[in-house]
Amino acid sequence: MKKILGQLVDIPNRRIFAAEITVENGIISSIIEKNHSVQNYILPGFIDAHIHIESSMLVPSEFARIAVLHGTVATISDPHEIANVLGKDGVYYMIENGKKVPLKFHFGAPSCVPATNFETAGAVIDSEGIKELLASKDIYYLSEMMNYPGVLFDDEEVLKKIKWAKYFEKPVDGHAPGLRGDDAKKYIAAGISTDHECFTFEEAEEKLALGMKILIREGSAAKNFEALIDLLPEHYENMMFCSDDKHPDDLILGHINQLCARATAKGMDVFKVLQAACINPVNHYNMDVGLLNIGDAADFIIVEDLSNFKVLKTFIDGELVSENGKSFVKSVPFETPNNFNVSPKSEDDFKVKATGNKIRVIEALEGQLITNEVHASTILEENNLVSDVENDILKMAVVNRYSDEKPAVAFIKNFGLKKGAIASSVAHDCHNIVVVGTSDEEICNAVNLIIKNKGGVCAVNGNEQKNLSLSVAGIMSNQDAWKTGKAYQEIDAMTKSLGSELKAPFMTLSFMALLVIPDLKLSDKGLFSGSKFEFVDLQL
């Protein structure tokens, strides 16, 4: 039995009072008001309402070691990334690894594996596979329905997946950036309950009015906090916070606690902010997480104040898992499944003969997953299309990691590299190899470094190279959390020394193959327009 003193933040009743909490066998057995001088605040733990753990480049057990430092006690985790590589086995891998540590991972059944038929994935999960997953007590929801055209056009397989979620009485997550009007109405009417992809105030406001719950996302690349946060005061009962995708260096700095601090710094009611950060996900997803009530699991945190939310202690099931910046979550052994079956490439594999004077160019946007299509004049060497470094129009490619195929080549603006190349096998959603560089030689060298290590992120410039091996499915490290974070920081720093001014160049790069986010993207099969939902020609 343990007794904890502090100022208890009673979010539903909007009051703060001096309290003594008694914990027995991981459960809160009593909460009594009691005069004492302890001024620290006790509140329910923070919850990331939508995250792909894989994007931290850490397995769940290592992710937990950092997350608890920031007061995170649970996540709503979509194992979509590893499912695209290893199928259902990948989902079960995440569940079992997560069970080895105290943090409460709540995994979903990935609804779109692969996300589209216009790319090559390592696995397929059909409606029967979704049924199997949703039947498990370890699966809490049907994860983001990215195939919104399938919903709108009554695709039989898509509707079967949603039907199974309804059968098992588990919520369905959405993913429909920019969807408005009658299309949004039909999408929501199908039973889809959330969206974390809104990037304008007006879009989120419309979806809230239609009965959706809206997640305010602030990840390493996609940053929608400033666009959406002003909706929170009126709609706090139907909003949540999430990171979606967070790289290890950013996770070391903070998590949902940072969003709470930013919201209160804008003068927002702390009870409304904490409702979104701590309460709403538990209620929406029927999470196995305590909310500071008698009889609940003792999942709570102690913070220094209600402005900066500096986390002093984190408790999960009554266990002290972090204190004053020290994590007590231990590393555990884990396997390293992989699915990399591609041979090294040659420079010739990335050459494209010129057939016109203009090319379509992907315009990457800082802080967004959406892109624009712009047009540019071709730059040629021996009648081959090459990077225009001076105008920041660089060659990029996506290389099939599952079999030996000809790489798909395109061009991209705003990566800013003046020399060298960067590459990654973290490339949503199929996790083929994506690369951008200043020359075919550098592009080829970067790709072959990824292939040699059976996955990773790297930066190369002549004989200089930095690499972080991602041997777990080609998307997660087999190292501990802090070693992984440090290695990633070094590669990120090298990338910026090569000229990139993007805040998170590798996270941005990883989304340049995500076809379901408009407009122009590149899969291993070719250049794709998300607005037309079809392949388009590179050369005009």
Instruction: Tell me the per-residue pLDDT of 446-489, one tens digit each, with 9 for 90 and over.
Output: 999 999 999 999 999 999 999 999 999 999 999 988 999 999 99
Predicted TM-score of the model (pTM): 0.94
Strands 358-364 and 371-377, sheet pairing: antiparallel
Q: Is the pLDDT of residue 338 over 90?
A: yes
pLDDT digits (tens, 9 = 90+) for 24-75: 999 999 999 999 999 999 999 999 999 999 999 999 999 999 999 999 999 9
DSSP letter at 413 equals E
Q: Which amino acid is at 269?
A: D
Q: Answer for the pair 239, 276: CB distance below 8 angstroms, yes or no.
A: yes
- Tokens coding 116: 């589209």
Q: Answer for the pair 235, 272: CB distance below 8 angstroms, yes or no.
A: no
C-beta neighbour count of 11 within 10 angstroms: 21
Residue 377 pLDDT grade (very low, low, confident, very high; cuts 50, 70, 90): very high
Handedness of CA 294, 295, 296, 302 (dihedral sign): positive
pLDDT recorded at residue 502: 94
Burial of 230 (C-beta count, 10 Å sphere; 0-12/13-18/19+): middle
Q: What is the CA radius of gyration of the chain?
A: 23
**Where do the domains of the chain lie, and which CATH numbers do they carry?**
46-288 (3.20.20.140), 347-535 (no CATH)
3-state secondary structure at position 395: strand
Residue 329 pLDDT grade (very low, low, confident, very high; cuts 50, 70, 90): very high
| Of 77, 73, 1, 24, the residue nearest 299 (C-alpha) | 73
Peptide bond into 114 cis (omega under 30): yes
pLDDT digits (tens, 9 = 90+) for 276-298: 999 999 999 999 999 999 999 99
393 membership: H or E segment, kind and range: strand 393-399
Q: Answer for the pair 76, 281: CB distance below 8 angstroms, yes or no.
A: yes
HSE-up of 33 (CA within 13 Å, CB side)?
A: 5
CA distance 70 to 251: 9
DSSP letter at 331 equals P
The dihedral region occupied by 394, where left means phi > 0, alpha psi between -120 and 50, and beta the remainder, is beta
At 338, give phi and psi (nearest 5°): -145, 165
Q: Write down the H helix ranges in 254-307.
A: 256-265, 270-274, 280-285
pLDDT digits (tens, 9 = 90+) for 101-145: 999 999 999 999 998 889 999 999 999 999 999 999 999 999 999
pLDDT digits (tens, 9 = 90+) for 489-538: 999 999 999 999 999 999 899 999 999 888 999 999 999 998 888 999 99
| Of 198, 151, 190, the residue nearest 171 (C-alpha) | 190
Report the pLDDT averaged over residues 331-335.
Answer: 95
Q: Is the pLDDT of residue 308 over 90?
A: yes
- Which residue, chain included where needed, has tokens 């990824």? 450
pLDDT digits (tens, 9 = 90+) for 382-422: 999 999 999 999 999 999 999 999 999 999 999 999 999 99
Residue 346 pLDDT grade (very low, low, confident, very high; cuts 50, 70, 90): very high
- Tokens coding 404: 């030996």
Q: How many angstroms separate the Cα of 318 from the Cα of each of 301, 372, 519?
A: 10, 49, 47
Q: Answer for the pair 90, 82: CB distance below 8 angstroms, yes or no.
A: yes
DSSP letter at 172 equals E
pLDDT recorded at residue 530: 87
- Which residue, chain included where needed, has tokens 């020609």? 537
Peptide bond into 519 cis (omega under 30): yes
pLDDT recorded at residue 116: 85
Strands 139-145 and 172-174, sheet pairing: parallel
- Tokens coding 289: 């997480």
Q: Is the pLDDT of residue 300 over 90?
A: yes
pLDDT recorded at residue 356: 86
Q: Answer for the pair 99, 77: CB distance below 8 angstroms, yes or no.
A: no
CA distance 481 to 57: 9
Q: Answer for the pair 415, 424: CB distance below 8 angstroms, yes or no.
A: no
Q: Is the pLDDT of residue 222 over 90?
A: no
Rounded (10°) angle between helices 201-209 and 181-189: 50
pLDDT recorded at residue 115: 84
At 70, give phi and psi (nearest 5°): -100, 15
Report the pLDDT averaged over residues 362-380.
Answer: 93
Q: Answer for the pair 235, 214: CB distance below 8 angstroms, yes or no.
A: yes
